[in-house]
Structure 1
Amino acid sequence: MRPLNITELFLEQFETHDILGLIDLSNSVGWDYDVDEVTTVMSSGRIYGHKNDEGQIVSSAAIIDYSSKLASIGMVIVREDYRGMGLGRKAVEKCLESVPINTPIMLIATEDGKPMYEKMGFHTIDIVSKYLCNSYEPLITSSDLYSNISPLSEEDLSGVISFDTEAFGVNRETFLMNRINQSKDSLVVKSLDGAIIGYGLSVKGPVNLILGPIVAADSETALLIINELAKNHPGKLRIDVPSGNDIYMSKLEKCGFIKVSQPPIMLINSNELPLRNNTLYSIAAQIFG
């Protein structure tokens, strides 16, 4: 028997005092959001959902709007006892309504969520490959290229944002600044003439060290960044890779990464994502697109 009738639930935008409640919701379905991750989501976009009459959060959906050219939806969660009541759909609809009309909106779907998104008008345009690694085996790398990898500095920020814009298709400065602040390590690679040819971040989660975004001029540079971010980490790693990077993925597998799923990338209000230049080797996380 369901705990409450849907008319007794309240849809609202969550604030910082709701972060612990959102983490409890995440834990209830086996997801591993923590304070830092939810803070980055909230600082970069908006999170909506329902509370019951006791103030417990029972559903959520987040939207990160990068510009009128693209937004990304994620963190779509419904507590088990409250499923089948349309709460997830209502939270997602609130996200859709919160951005300018006809804004292309993407999401990376779970298997359970895909049918709902299809009914709402989303269609599959691609996949992303989720990789996990329990024991990383370092790559043999080029010392010449390696010498040009350094911690990302404030002076590098404008160049990194421009480099990322070409890779992702839209400017996502607010998100990147929040993600860099959250990161365990942030690295930049420069050519001999000082031009940025790659950057990468690692973010420490409760279970995995998340590697991404990784943006690079070529797969060798991307792998050098991965090696530097991962080589001294004793625990588990996670990386999510867009399609079209087969050579890169095969080398990741030689380092100990195992492909565990290929969730679909879905889109509404457009037939394709904004134009990208094929330098996005790993996304930040599924919620951020």
Structure 2
Amino acid sequence: MPTSSLTLPIRRLTPADLPAALDLSADRSWSREEHKWRLLLSAGTGYGIDAPPDDPEGGLIGAFVLTSCPGYGCVGMVLVARRHERRGLGGRLMRHAIAEAGDRVLFLYATDNGRPLYERLGFRAVGAVTTLSGAFVPGGTTEPGVRVRPATAADLPGILALDLPVAGMDRTHLLTRLPAFADALAVAHGPDGRLTGYGAAWPNAGTTVIGPLIAENPATARALVTFLGARAAAPVRFDVDDRHPDLARWLRARGLSGDMRSTLMVRGAAALPGDISRRFAPYSVALG
């Protein structure tokens, strides 16, 4: 008699599960995002369900990653193998994520396919991003009063101090990984020399993702994107929040395009904390 996938245990993933996680991503026609998966499995906690013994394909048939900050948790990479879909595995994985989170506020970026499940589990939509990508074309002018340069180790305390009130949560364990994770990390200064923003660019499945990006104002955000985008070795990807329509128009004018949408959803609070007026790009839609 075939084994029911709903009775299989959910276990914690380790770095040794990376090949299986990549295979599961490919099964769902997602890119094999090895660099991002390595970060997720080190900065967060991965959970997965192994195929039953009578499944000839083997490997993982379900997975997700929970990345936590004090008081908050982000759920990402929720995946169920095609051959096991529509059997309740997605709901089981998400209920496990909710249980593991305890009293923490949970948030995630949902695809249109996943959103009904998350709504049934108590998540509510509080925003959305559009994924834009393409060869970045730098503009012919600079942003007056903004100086951007590569970050150094001495900038990390300033980056952490700038990030905390804008993100609304302590992301130290994520941001301290940026120098090793990113291809480029930049900081911006105003005329008085004060730190006014930072941004990172990192490689992911044939693109250069720009994020996180925190800036005091839109001009500083544009200056950081220009600095990072002009140095990108691959087409740029930028997940732009609906609440920054002017930035979206500017990015499209600089050569990026796209209409893939992800809905920001929250469970356990009316909204996420922080200051969206200065939060221009997430670290990743899998990390918030």
Deviation sequence 1:94-123 (CA, Å, 0-9, x none)? 22212232x211111011111111111111
2:60 match: 57
Matches within 5 A, 1:21-100: 21-54=20-53, 56-68=59-71, 70-100=72-102
2:126 match: 125
Task: Please report how far the alpha carbon of residue 141 of structure 1 lies from its aligned counterpart in structure 2 after TM superposition.
Answer: 3.1
Task: Please report how far the alpha carbon of residue 234 of structure 1 lies from its aligned counterpart in structure 2 after TM superposition.
Answer: 4.9
TM-score, length-scaled by structure 1 = 0.92
Q: Structure 2: how far apart are the matches of 1:96 and 1:143?
A: 44
TM-score, length-scaled by structure 2 = 0.92
Instruction: Sort the Cα spacing of 1:90 and 1:7 in 2 relative to 1 into closer, same or farther, 3 A.
Output: closer
1:142 match: 142
Structure 1 unmatched runs, 5+: none
Instruction: Sort the Cα spacing of 1:245 and 1:3 in 2 relative to 1 into closer, same or farther, 3 A.
Output: farther
Residue 122 (structure 2) pairs with residue 115 (structure 1): no
Q: Secondary structure at the match of 2:113?
A: coil
Matches within 5 A, 1:149-160: 149-160=148-159
Is contact 2:6–2:89 with CA below 8 Å preserved after alignment? no
Q: Secondary structure at the match of 1:108?
A: strand
Q: Runs of 4 or more off by more than 4 Å in structure 1? A: 143-146
Structure 2 unmatched runs, 5+: none
1:270 match: 269
Q: Which amino acid in the other structure matches residue 281 of structure 2?
A: S
1:261 match: 260
Matches within 5 A, 1:7-22: 7=6, 9-22=8-21
Q: Structure 2: how far apart are the matches of 1:50 and 1:205?
A: 25
Moved more, 78-87 or 176-185: 176-185
Q: Structure 2: how far apart are the matches of 1:144 and 1:152?
A: 20
2:168 match: 169
1:184 match: 183
Q: Structure 1: how far apart are the matches of 2:143 and 2:218?
A: 16
Is contact 1:32–1:207 with CA below 8 Å preserved after alignment? no
Is contact 2:143–2:223 with CA below 8 Å preserved after alignment? no
RMSD value, Cα: 1.9
Task: Please report how far the alpha carbon of residue 7 of structure 1 lies from its aligned counterpart in structure 2 after TM superposition.
Answer: 4.7
1:223 match: 222
